[in-house]
Structures are given as structure tokens and as C-alpha cells.
A and B are shown apart, each in its own frame.
Chain A
Amino acid sequence: MNFSISLTVNGVRRDVELGDPRVTLLDLLRERLHLTGTKKGCDRGQCGACTVLVDGRRINSCMALAVSHDGADVLTIEGLARGDQLHPVQAAFIAHDGLQCGFCTPGQIMSAIGLIHEGQAGDDPERVREGMSGNLCRCGAYSGITDAVLDVQKSLIAADQRRSA
């Protein structure tokens, strides 16, 4: 059975024919659209390497059937930078050594962007760590990751204060 779906991926409309309903959103991104920045770690919703934003919310793309997400707006790591200009969260990960081998990093960065949008953690390190607990890092770069997220949060809070002043 064939299923035609249409997604907006990083701002571009993509029409895809699925020959099989078993295709996950993760496999669609990597194997069909060749967007391999999103990583397959555990493929069971436990490690967070496959995190993308769907309609603005972070989810595990390995646990989402592509066919069920017909019409969705998907943002992946490839959609963040503007040419050579990095997204502020990408720049903060580099500035704070928020990575070592880099495999979990696209998921960490997409999860961090989701966390910031959710607006629940603020600049509380404990809330940031708790909010990022769905992303595992085998290299143990957690302290740099937390510092990177806090740095971006503090810049956003400062910018808000300047705007409201």
C-alpha cells in the first residue's frame, strides 16, 4: 500500500511517497531526504539523539511514524544556521565545550532549543539538567551542555529585560 505525505522540513515543502507505513520520521529524514544530521542512537526513544522539533515541539523522531505526521512542520539541525552564521545554541555549545565525539550533539541542540521555547527552566541549572534528561551523552559532556543552555537562557533573559526597560 502506498501513502503520499507532505511535510515542511526546514522551511521547504517535501512531498514523499511511502511504500510502507513502518517508516519512522527519523528514517524518512535520514534515508529518504538525506538529512543525516539527525542521528539514530537507540531507535527506542531512550537516548534522544533523534530529537527534532515537530510543529515547534521537541520529540523523538524514532518513535514517530512518518505516515501519522502528514502535514507536520519539521525542524532539524540542518535548518538552524543561516549560511555560516550559527544559531545561538550551536555557538554556545562550541563556546562551552558542550560536546566531545559529537554524535549526540544534533539531538542535544534540538532538545535545548525545545527546552528554551517551552519556557519552564529559566536560568536554574537544576531545571535545565532535568529538562535535558531525555538526551544521553556517552562522552559525559553534561556540564558543558548545561553551561551552554544557561548561557543562551541568560542572554535571552537579558534581552527581554532590555526590551521591557
Chain B
Amino acid sequence: MKTFDYVRPATISDAIAAAAEPGAAYLAAGTNLLDLMKGGITRPDRLVDVTRLPGLDRIEQLPDGGVRIGALVRNADLAHDPDFARSYPAIAEALLSGASAQLRNAATVGGNLLQRTRCGYFYDAASACNKREPGAGCDARDGENRLHAVLGWSEACIATHPSDFCVPLVALDAVVEIEGRTGRREVAVEALHRLPGDTPERESVLEPGDLIVALRLPGEARTFSAHARYLKVRERTSYAFAVVSAAAALRIEQGTIRDARLALGGVAAKPWRARSAEEILAGSSPTQAAFRRAAEVALADARPSGDNRFKIELAQRILVRALTLAAAGTPQRIPALPASPFSSVSRSAS
């Protein structure tokens, strides 16, 4: 690991000033950043430790029925907060399906939003990667790419965004509050991450010094709590990133879907909101035929970036299954294997 300067500012404005300098990076739990630094993939000159900044570790109910989550709230604490899990069950399920208990105890809400891709070529300093070194090329294009993007990718980069948490967040219109050199602003999580285009090294709309201070969910997001699920297919039962995942949230009144929210994970460089599919579902009955039509529409623009054509079919099936589970109703308690398609199987077998 390259050496670095370490500072621990006491205020948000001092943190922004320290992090706006070239070569600086924010440090929260470091569960992703330290890993990248150990591999020489990220080489900051200065770490700005934000873990002691005051007031960023609270979960607050808002007057409009929404919730405001400080950027330093730990993933495990948010998932296990009883009010939060009851109101936003798909988000809690997504959080608990990610990483391990040790990592969830450390990792923060803000850090999760900004975690880097798990593309093996990005992580391998000996490989060509346009994201790590602009203009170097992309070894994933002709390499092991069965887990890479099928939506929104470019010739420059086919990496995916690895977060589970972000998938239900974009489905439910979450917003981040950002403090920066020019003051405070708000950005929808859906607009926070960028598609690669010709500049895959620019992964978000954040500017130097920008600090995510909070995440907000609107009051409307909790109106889906009776029919909200997150489903995630992995290459092993637990402690693995998604091959494909889906968040499905429905508001069903008198047997009709009044409103639907859908998003996919593991398919693109950002959590992928499927608005066209939502429009198909609104006003229809929660039937398998409607779910299949919505899934086809959601993946209509998908195309393989390598040996990953199977992910298009898989994503459609995961969407249908997530919608079926959501329509059946949110379980009283998050399943023993959160977000796993094998959860009910393992329950009956044990």
C-alpha cells in the first residue's frame, strides 16, 4: 500500500476543504477502500476520515412520513432497525443479502452507495482497464465476462455496479443529500451513478470534495411495504455479489396493481430502474402473464457484452419471480437466507 497522509476533521466544512485537494479520498469504514488500496488499485495521497463527524449516524423520521438516514449509519444497524425494516422491507432484505455480518457491522450507508465495481480486470493491476487508467483499453471485452453488464455498457467499459442496497433505493425514489464546496444539494440515487460512455473513470456525478451526508426516502416509499421484495441470484448461497438481482414493490388495491416499482442489480454500471415495465404493470392484475410482459419490456434494450447472454433471460426470470413473491406479500420476518431464491426450499427441508 502506498503511504498517505491521514487527517480527521471535526466539522463537515473542514472535511470538504481537506477532501477537495487532488489525490484526497474520504475514509468511512474503509471496507472497500482499504481493499483497493492494498491491491494498489486506488492510491490516495490523503485520507480524510469522516467517521467522527457529528450528527451523521442517526435515523430520523420526517414529517412527510419519509425517513432520513445519516451517511454514517452502519448497514447492519439500518437493516435491523425495527421501524425501518417494517416500512422498507425490500431495502432491509437487500442490505442483509450483501457481504458478511462483519462487513455489514462496519460498512456505512454512504460508503455502500459509492462502492466500486467488482470487475476482476479493474482489480488486477496487470490488466488493461479504462476505469482504472483512462485510455488503457478493456481486457474484460475479450476476457472472462460472463458476469458483466447487459444494459447501458459501452465499448470502453462493461463493468457492473455491485451494490444490493442501491437496487431497492432507486426503485423507491431515494435521494442523497450532498455537501460540497458550493453548499448543499440533492440528487436522486438514480442520477448519482453514471453510465460509462467514453469516460468510465467518472462513476458518479460527485465533484471533488463532495460528501454524501444523508440518504432520504420519501413518504410514498412506505406505501409499498405490504408487497415488497428483493431477490438475488448468487454463485453460492451466501456472502457473494449478485449475478442478477431485482427489487419489486407493488401497491395492490382490490386485486389491481395501482403502482409498481422495479429495479435490477448486477446488469449495468448503475442500479437499473425499469420504468417502462412499471408502466405496464400499473392498472393490471398481478398475474404471471402481466409479470412476464413487464420482464420482457424491462430487458428489451439488453444485449450481451460477452459470454453473458444468459443474464438477459435470467434477469427476466428473476423479475417475474420477484414480482410473484412481492404479490404474495412481504413476509412477517426477513427469511433466514435473505433475498435467496432457495429460502423457502431450505425452510421446508430443515
Please list the residues of chain A having a beta carbon within 8 angstroms of any beta carbon in chain B: 1, 3, 20-22, 24, 43-45, 48, 51, 57-60, 63-65, 67-68, 111, 114-115, 118, 120, 124-127, 129-135
B105 interface residue, CB < 8 Å from A? yes
Q: Considering the chains assembled together, what is the distance between the CA atoms of A20 and B76 in angstroms?
A: 30
Q: State the Cβ distance, B28 to closest chain A Cβ, in Å.
A: 9
A115/B101 in contact, CB under 8 A:
yes
The distance from the CB of A122 to the nearest CB of chain B, in whole angstroms, is 10
Q: State the Cβ distance, B168 to closest chain A Cβ, in Å.
A: 19
Partner of B6 from the list A21, A45, A51, A57 (CB cut-off 8 Å) is A21
Whether A3 lies near B238 (C-beta < 8 A) is no
Q: Mark B20-63, 1 if CB is under 8 A from A, else 0.
A: 00000001011100110010000000010101000000000000
C-beta contact mask, B278-301 vs A, less than 8 Å → 1, else 0?
000000000000000000000000
Interface string of B231-246 (1 = CB under 8 A from A): 0000001110000000
Query: In the complex, which residues of chain A have a beta carbon less than 8 angstroms from the beta carbon of B100?
Result: 48, 133-135
Given contacts A22-B4, A64-B34, 8 further A-B contacts (CB under 8 A): A1-B6, A21-B6, A60-B102, A65-B34, A67-B6, A120-B80, A130-B337, A135-B100
Residues in A with CB closer than 8 Å to B47 are: 21, 65
Contact between B38 and A111, CB atoms less than 8 A apart: no
Q: Does B17 contact A (CB under 8 A)?
A: no
Contact flags B333-350 to A (C-beta < 8 A → 1, else 0): 000111000000011001
A57 to B347, CA, bound (A): 28
A129 to chain B, nearest CB (A): 8
Q: A64–B30 contact, CB under 8 A?
A: yes
Question: B103 within 8 Å of A by Cβ?
Answer: yes
Partner of B336, one of A114, A115, A124: A124
Measured between beta carbons, the chain A residues less than 8 angstroms from B105 are 57-59, 114
- Determine chain A's interface SS by DSSP, over half rule: mixed
B1 at the interface (CB under 8 A from A): yes
Given contacts A48-B100, A125-B350, A133-B238, contact A43 B38 (CB under 8 A): yes
Complex Cα–Cα for A44 and B35 (A): 6
**A-B pairs, 5 with minimum CB distance:** A134-B100, A126-B336, A133-B238, A21-B6, A133-B239
Flag whether B3 is at the interface (Cβ < 8 A). yes
| Nearest Cβ on chain A to B123's Cβ, whole angstroms | 10
Bound CA–CA A58/B101 (angstroms): 8
Q: Which residues of B contact A111 (CB under 8 A)?
A: 101-102
In the bound complex, how far is the Cα of B94 from the Cα of A52, in angstroms? 25
A127 to B29, CA, bound (A): 25
CB distance from A36 to the nearest CB of B (A): 20
B→A interface (CB under 8 Å): 1, 3-6, 8, 27, 29-31, 34-35, 38, 47, 49, 51, 76, 80, 99-103, 105-106, 237-239, 336-338, 346-347, 350
Bound state CA distance, A157 and B336, in angstroms?
Answer: 19
10 A–B pairs (Cβ distance < 8 Å), ordered by A:
A21-B3, A21-B47, A44-B35, A68-B51, A114-B102, A118-B76, A118-B101, A120-B80, A126-B346, A130-B337
Instruction: Please report the C-alpha to C-alpha distance between residue A114 and residue B102 in the assembled complex, in whole angstroms.
Output: 9
Chain B contacts for A51, CB-based, 8 A: 102
Give the complex CA separation of A58 and B102 in angstroms. Answer: 5
A48 / chain B contacts, CB cutoff of 8 Å = 100, 102
Docked-complex contact A59 and B102, CB < 8 angstroms: yes
Task: Give the residues in chain B near A20, CB-CB below 8 Å.
Answer: 3
Q: Is the CB of A134 within 8 A of B103?
A: yes
CB pair A131 B101 closer than 8 Å: yes
Closest to B336 in A: A126
* Chain A: minimal CB distance from B32 (Å): 9
Instruction: Select from chain A the residue with minimum beta-carbon distance to B39.
Output: A44
Residues of B close to A129: CB separation below 8 A: 238
* A65 lies within 8 A of B101 (CB): no
CA distance A48 to B106 in the complex (A): 13
Please indicate the chain A residues that have their CB under 8 angstroms from the CB of B29 in the complex.
Answer: 63-64
Q: Which of A57, A59, A63, A133 contacts B35 (CB 8 A)?
A: A63
Closest Cβ of chain B: how far from A88's Cβ, in Å? 20
Residues of A contacting B76 in the complex (Cβ-Cβ under 8 angstroms): 57, 118
B101 lies within 8 A of A60 (CB): no
CB distance from A107 to the nearest CB of B (A): 9
Given contacts A111-B102, A130-B238, contact A45 B5 (CB under 8 A): no
